[in-house]
Chain A
């Protein structure tokens, strides 16, 4: 099925460092979402973006909806151990309620 390309695939960083990951697509999406998934759990919504160019923050997290509506990035500042997990972007397919998920970025934070 259709997927969004996410990079990097994995990151190993030290506690306190900033993190940046992005998501690109060949298709236009009207809504971009960023989720975090812990092992054995369902994804939990971090940030939702609804307008091209929109920049939204949620605590240490900041995400932007690309102007072309084909990409988005997520930044995490001053990482902490509990940031460990898999981060997924997701785009809502136009004129439907369906979500398409990115390939995921696995984040490891070392103390």
Chain B
């Protein structure tokens, strides 16, 4: 599958600030990437589908103004958590569908204090 790099792996930020998470497809030009959120001991929940050159498609219940997604190139999608609050603390994971299936990034642990 595709090689996916996610950065940072961990971030701690103050309440009210914004945090950007990057997802890179290193060996595959991805027109579509996916962003998931995972709470402790829970499953992965799809937040949005990131579309290169156009607006992201958000799942029901996900605030698009809170979770800004930008997919400006075929190898990079970013998720920005705006005006973060403690309840936004979670594990965020991106995914790329490559020629041999879906590959996931190693995740970003966000802690908002």
Contacts and interface: CB of A to CB of B under 8 A. Distances in A.
Interface of A: 1, 3, 33, 35, 40-45, 48, 88, 90, 97-104, 106
Contacts of B54: none
B34 A99 contact: yes
A106 B42 CA distance: 10
Contacts of A98: 34, 46, 49
A35 to B, nearest CB: 8
B45 interface: yes
Q: Considering the complex of A and B, which 3 residue pairs feature the smallest CB-CB distances, nearest first?
A: A42-B104, A101-B44, A101-B43
28 contacts: A1-B45, A1-B60, A33-B101, A40-B91, A40-B109, A42-B4, A42-B6, A42-B95, A42-B104, A42-B105, A42-B106, A43-B44, A43-B104, A45-B101, A45-B103, A88-B43, A88-B44, A97-B32, A99-B46, A99-B95, A99-B102, A100-B46, A101-B36, A101-B44, A101-B46, A102-B43, A104-B43, A106-B41
Contacts of A44: 104
* Interface footprint category on B: 20 to 34
Contacts of B41: 106
Report whether over half of chain A's contact residues are helix, strand or loop; otherwise say mixed. strand
A35 B102 CA distance: 10
Contact of A103 (B6, B43, B101, B109): B43
Contacts of A3: 43
Contacts of B105: 42
A33 B100 CA distance: 12
Interface string B91-113: 10101010001111111010000
